[in-house]
Amino acid sequence: MGVLDLSAYGLSDEERELAGLVRAFADERIAPQAYEADRTKTLPLGLVAEMGELGLFGLPFPEEAGGVRIGGQGGDYLALGLAIEAIARVDQSLAITLEAGVSLGAMPVYRFGTDAQRAELLPDLLAGRALAGFGLTEPEAGSDAGATRTTARLDGDEWVIDGAKQFITNSGTAITRFVTVTAVTGTREGRKEISTIIVPAGTAGFIVGAPYDKVGWHASDTHPLTFEGARVPAENLLGERGRGFANFLSILDEGRIAIAALSTGAAEGCLEAALDYADSRIVFGERLGSRQSIQFMLARMQQRVHTARLAWLHAARLRDAGQPFGTAAALAKLTASDAAMDNARDATQIFGGNGFMNEYPVARHYRDSKILEIGEGTSEVQLLVISRALGLDAGRSVKA
């Protein structure tokens, strides 16, 4: 079974065709620009437009909502995962731009929006003509999203929003249409009532901070956001009032599948690069890949790619079949992010000094992959989800 052989994973002809089309696009269009985009810390909006024209942003949506079929395949998360994996092999920044644009930008509108919100916002989002962000994380509310401090109060027929968000992807590009933010809109039974509200780009009092100086994902757009009395119409409430956090959790489970697919692509990209380098690099008169220690390292890297792909495909199939998939998504995200980090480390070691040079893709994967163990729920959060599925409760005490 070769690195690129997808026939062993039970994929249909249409699914393999989709994966092949996006892999070819990634190799031919994205890979040649990846280093320069990383070096200049610039999201290549021209490539985002090409991804939109190819239909990638519309993949998991039904056709009646504007969804897209590529090679006859689409309408589910498995299709989206195949596209994300293919792109992440060569550029994680563009892969996360796609993942966040779909999972955190368009999907909440499709899932919870009114007919009017869908009609206004989805066409451009699903065509890749616009991007949107989801403002959840705050300086004191990350994994503990219930600690949200951003507030929104009704003043006549407008929401007035005050607070701050951080690490928000796709929030400050030239084509960013809006950001959906979680905010405390009151209390219910002594607990915070958290709702989600759409805040259009350019709203007075909505301040997009300077882009972060990140360790990795340099070409991905990420900003802190500040809201100082930002006013939006009352009808910008997304979904039922007080259901913002619960709705986000359902979106988060799906996002973990997508991040697992992205992580698998990163792990595979590292393996591909390491295989090529080991085959061409001559050390003491022989190919580096002829040494058993290197062969075993590469074999371990293939094992990780294989296991990670099985994990995310399983979670995606459960989700698409309408079955419970939260635990499977956590398992996939944990397995695949570990694979990405481990393969990035091993690939860098195989490259030696060249692996420390940013023009080589393994160096970028080494920097980029760490965030995969943090974003969309840290590895510790995934372990917590898995532990609870085993019937374990960290807070349970033993009574005599």
| Amino acid (one-letter) located at 145 | A
The single residue of 85, 99, 272, 376 carrying the catalytic annotation is 376
User: 152 Cβ partners below 8 Å, 6+ apart?
Assistant: 159, 160, 161, 162, 181, 183, 184, 185, 195, 197
Give the C-alpha separation, 243 to 20, whole Å.
39
Torsion of CA 48, 237, 199, 381, to 10 degrees: -60
In order of 125, 194, 258, 326, 331, the CA distances from 389 in angstroms are 35, 26, 21, 9, 11
Using DSSP's 3-state secondary structure scheme, residue 166 falls into: strand
Is 376 considered catalytic here?
yes
DSSP, res 150: -
Alpha carbons 225 and 10: distance in angstroms, whole number? 43
| Residue type at position 163 | G
Q: How far apart are CA 110 and CA 100, in angstroms?
A: 14
DSSP per residue, 306-324: HHHHHHHHHHHHHHHTT--
Question: Exposed, middle or buried, 317 (CB in 10 Å: 0-12/13-18/19+)?
Answer: middle
* C-beta separation of 363 from 356 below 8 A: yes
Q: Across the strands, what pairs with 176?
A: 131
Q: How far apart are CA 31 and CA 304, in angstroms?
A: 23
Q: 91 and 27 in contact (C-beta within 8 Å)? A: no
* Catalytic positions: 376
